[in-house]
Amino acid sequence: MQITRRAFTTGGLMLGGLALGPGLGLPARASARFGSMQIDMVSDGNLVLPRDFITGPMPAEELAAILTRNGITGEALTPPCNVTLLRHEDRVILFDVGSGSDFQPSAGLLPETLDSLGLAPEDITHLVITHGHPDHIWGLLDEFDEPFLPEAQILMGRAEFDYWMDPGTLDSIGAARQAFAIGAQRRLEAVADLVTFFEDGAEILPGVAARLTPGHTPGHMSFELRDGSESLMVLGDAIGNHHVAFERPAWESGSDQDPATAAATRVALFDQLASAQMPIAGFHLPGGLGRVEAHADGGYRFQPA
* pLDDT value, residue 280: 98
Q: Which residues contact 68 (CB under 8 A, 6 or more apart)?
A: none
Q: Three-state SS for 24?
A: coil
Euclidean distance between CA atoms 234 and 223, whole angstroms: 5
Helices (H), the chain: 5-9, 52-55, 60-69, 110-116, 134-137, 158-165, 169-172, 178-191, 244-247, 259-276
Cβ neighbours around 75 below 10 Å, total = 11
List C-alpha distances in Å: 119 to 166, 303, 304: 35, 29, 26
Nearest to 126 by CA among 158, 150, 101: 150
Tens digits of residue pLDDT in 58-98: 999 999 999 999 999 999 999 999 999 999 999 999 999 99
* pLDDT value, residue 28: 58
Helices (H) and strands (E) in the chain, counts: 10, 16
Euclidean distance between CA atoms 247 and 242, whole angstroms: 8
* pLDDT value, residue 29: 74
Q: Three-state SS for 82?
A: strand
Query: In this structure, are residues 259 and 212 in contact, taking their beta carbons and an 8 Å threshold?
Result: no
Q: What is the pTM of this model?
A: 0.91
* pLDDT value, residue 138: 98
- Angle in degrees, CA 264, 175, 194, rounded to 5: 75
In angstroms, the first-to-last Cα distance of the chain is 35
Low-confidence ranges of the chain (pLDDT < 50): 1-25
Strands 153-157 and 126-129: parallel
Q: Which residues contact 136 (CB under 8 A, 6 or more apart)?
A: 96, 97, 98, 99, 129, 130, 236, 237, 283
In DSSP terms, 303 is beta-bridged to 291
Nearest to 229 by CA among 276, 194, 191: 276
Q: Three-state SS for 9?
A: helix
Euclidean distance between CA atoms 140 and 191, whole angstroms: 8
CATH superfamily of 5-12+28-304: Ribonuclease Z/Hydroxyacylglutathione hydrolase-like (3.60.15.10)
Per DSSP, 107 falls in state B
